[in-house]
Amino acid sequence: MAAPGKSRHRGILAGFVFFLLFLPALAQHAPDSAPVAARDYVGNEACKSCHADIYRSYSLTAMARASGPAAQELIPGEFQHAASGVHYRVYTEGDAAWLSFERPGDPALRGKRQLLYYIGSGRRGRSYLFAVDGFLFESPVNWYANRHVWDMAPAYGSTREIPILPAFLASCRLI
């Protein structure tokens, strides 16, 4: 068993390594830059060769599985949100994960977004992120592991409109 100080030091170092893994996704983008892409994700494996002990220790934690590329272990599904009448579908196409949405009978309300990252270990569920013009947004749908269903994210359960691009985030950039 490691000494308490040494164990705390490893925990801090593991957290720092985790932060470094996501630094590319957090970097500020110029207005004309390409959107954030899942291909920029380096994952935990990037640290393995230089920090083998920390990598092994970290890989045993729930935090090691708390985020990653959206297509990784994606469970496809679809549902109709009763309050808004919007039909959502989550699926993979090639190596990419997608969220499509449409309100039947309303041709102006349809589209799709590429899901780039997931957040959550999957034990309780997962949230997903997509990008528009270099901005990251949380998907309005989540996977709920206990119920084994796709459904609206908590903030959007009773919404009557399609919450695919929150207006209040339109002026925020990745920092």
pLDDT in tens, 106-162: 888 888 999 999 999 888 999 999 998 888 889 999 999 999 999 999 888 888 776
pTM for this model (two decimals) = 0.66
For 17, the token pair is 């390594």
Q: Which residues touch 161 (CB under 8 Å, ≥6 apart)?
A: 84
63-79: per-residue pLDDT in tens? 888 889 999 989 999 99
Listed in order, the ranges of the chain carrying CATH 2.40.128 are: 77-169
Phi and psi at 150, nearest 5°, equal -90, 140
Are the beta carbons of 101 and 111 closer than 8 angstroms?
yes
> Containing H/E element for 21?
helix 4-21
Name residue, tokens 């908590």: 154
End-to-end, the C-alpha distance of the chain in Å comes to 39
Q: What is the chain's length?
A: 175
Query: Which of these, 52, 58, 57, 49, lies nearest to 18 by C-alpha position?
Result: 58
Q: Please tell me the number of Cα atoms within 13 Å of 75 on its side-chain side.
A: 14
CATH number of 77-169: 2.40.128
At residue 34, the pLDDT reads 41
Res. 39 pLDDT band, cuts 50 70 90: low
- Looking at residue 169, what is its pLDDT? 42
Distance of CA 74 to the CA centre of its chain: 11
